[in-house]
């Protein structure tokens, strides 16, 4: 099973609308990150929220984190066709040696923004 | 700014062959991670190296091995390839000194096993 599970798995909206994606995780985390991936391409880091933060903004992105519910949400406001991509949440847990903090990805939400 | 460089971008191999994927992390990043992403799947953690020592191990098959060299580049060696090994393989790097624990991913190597 995955550390992070996204909801919904697929989302289709019209340009200009807001898109909200949710993520749940199971274990204690250092931080939670959101990534974007265009089809078959690399993963692009969008935003990071630390475990002691509740909300963070970056441009049209707003991320919330509820550690009591082990959940996070990503809101994209005023969506554009170029926002069409898969969005993954990823949690950071400590590596065995404490030196490398590995990312564990959820299953992703496929967002389609239509004109 | 320099990014994480992976080579090759595409690789086609036959079953039972061997493949070697290379990753050049961002300069001064001390940790390298390898991920495998099957079609329509989420990225799965394979293995990581911190300061050239194996740091953590995920769902990496015994047929795969990896190492990080003195210049911090890393190689993922895959032997006795199977059809199911066809996937995108990503390398990422990070630094403990990065203020936001930033992870930078390479563009990936698309491996096709035929």
Please tell me the predicted confidence (pLDDT) of residue B84. 96
Please tell me the predicted confidence (pLDDT) of residue A4. 63
pLDDT digits over A41-95, tens only?
Answer: 889 999 999 999 999 999 999 999 999 999 999 999 999 999 999 999 999 876 5
Helix, strand, coil fractions of chain B, as percent rounded to 5? 5, 50, 45
Chain B residues with beta carbon closer than 8 angstroms to that of A33: 103
**A·B CB contacts under 8 A:** 78
| Rounded distance between C-alpha atoms, residue B8 and residue B113, angstroms | 15
Chain-chain contact of B108 with A92 (C-beta, under 8 angstroms)? no
Of B50 and B99, the structure prediction assigns the larger pLDDT to: B50
Across the interface, which of B48, B51, B105 has its CB nearest the CB of A43? B105
> Hey, of A102, A105, A106, which one would you mutate to test binding to chain B, going by the most B CBs within 10 A of its CB?
A102
Chain-chain contact of B56 with A44 (C-beta, under 8 angstroms)? no
Chain-chain contact of B51 with A33 (C-beta, under 8 angstroms)? no
Please tell me the predicted confidence (pLDDT) of residue A1. 32
| Domain extent at residue B103 | 5-113
Cα–Cα separations (whole angstroms), residue B30 to A68, B24, B58: 32, 11, 19
Is any Cβ of chain A less than 8 angstroms from the Cβ of B3? no
Please tell me the predicted confidence (pLDDT) of residue B101. 62
Tokens of B81: 């390839």
Please tell me the predicted confidence (pLDDT) of residue A7. 77
Residues 25-64 (B) with a CB less than 8 A from some CB of A: 30-31, 33, 35, 41-45, 48-51, 53, 55-58
Instruction: Give mean pLDDT, residues A103-115.
Output: 92
Instruction: Please give the helix or strand (H or E) that residue B76 lies within, else none.
Output: strand B74-78
Query: By the 8 A CB rule, do B19 and B80 touch?
Result: no
| pLDDT of residue A96 exceeding 60 | no
Query: By the 8 A CB rule, do A108 and A87 touch?
Result: yes
pLDDT band (50, 70, 90) for residue B1: low
Residues 65-104 (B) with a CB less than 8 A from some CB of A: 88, 90, 92, 94, 96, 100-104
Partners of residue A111 on adjacent β-strands: A11, A85
Region of residue A108 (left: phi > 0; alpha: psi -120 to 50; beta: else): left
Please enumerate in sequence order all residues whose Cβ is within 8 A of that of B62, keeping only pairs 6 or more positions apart, or say none.
none
Lowest mean pLDDT among A13-27, A98-112, B64-78: A98-112
Q: Say whether domain A5-114 belongs to CATH 3.40.50.12660.
A: no
pLDDT digits over B6-36, tens only?
Answer: 999 999 999 999 999 999 999 988 899 999 9
Cα–Cα separations (whole angstroms), residue B77 to A15, B2, B35, B65: 44, 25, 13, 5
Cα B92–Cα B98–Cα A40 angle in degrees, nearest 5? 25
Instruction: Give mean pLDDT, residues A20-44.
Output: 91
Lowest mean pLDDT among A96-100, A106-110, B29-33: A96-100
Please tell me the predicted confidence (pLDDT) of residue B40. 87
Query: By the 8 A CB rule, do A26 and A70 touch?
Result: yes
Neighbours of A69 (CB within 10 A): 9
Please tell me the predicted confidence (pLDDT) of residue A2. 39
Domain map (residue ranges) of chain A: 5-114
> Hey, of A85, A93, A100, A106, which one would you mutate to test binding to chain B, going by the most B CBs within 10 A of its CB?
A100
pLDDT digits over B57-96, tens only?
Answer: 998 999 999 999 999 999 999 999 999 999 999 999 988 7
Instruction: Give mean pLDDT, residues A100-105.
Output: 80
Closest CA to A36 of A16, A67, A59: A59
- Work out how many domains chain B is built from and give that number: 1
């Amino acid at each position: 099973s995955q550390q992070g599970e996204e909801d919904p798995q697929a989302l289709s909206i019209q340009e200009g609308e807001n898109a909200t994606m949710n993520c749940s995780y199971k274990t204690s985390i250092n931080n939670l990150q959101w990534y974007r991936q265009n089809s078959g391409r690399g993963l692009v880091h969008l935003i990071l929220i630390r475990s002691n933060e509740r909300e963070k903004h970056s441009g049209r992105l707003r991320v919330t984190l509820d550690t009591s519910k082990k959940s996070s949400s990503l809101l994209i406001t005023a969506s554009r066709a170029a926002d069409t991509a898969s969005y993954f949440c990823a949690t950071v847990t400590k590596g065995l040696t404490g030196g490398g903090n590995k990312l564990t990805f959820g299953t992703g939400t496929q967002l389609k923004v239509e004109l | 700014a320099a990014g994480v460089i992976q080579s090759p971008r595409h690789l086609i191999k036959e079953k039972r062959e061997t493949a070697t994927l290379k990753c050049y992390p961002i300069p001064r990043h001390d940790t390298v991670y390898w991920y495998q992403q099957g079609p329509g799947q989420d990225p799965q953690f394979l293995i990581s190296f911190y300061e050239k020592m194996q740091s953590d191990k995920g769902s990496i098959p015994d047929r795969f091995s990896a190492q990080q060299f003195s210049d911090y580049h890393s190689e993922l060696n895959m032997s006795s390839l199977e059809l199911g090994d066809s996937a995108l393989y990503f390398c990422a790097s990070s630094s403990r000194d990065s203020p936001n624990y930033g992870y930078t991913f390479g563009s990936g190597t698309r491996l096709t096993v035929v």
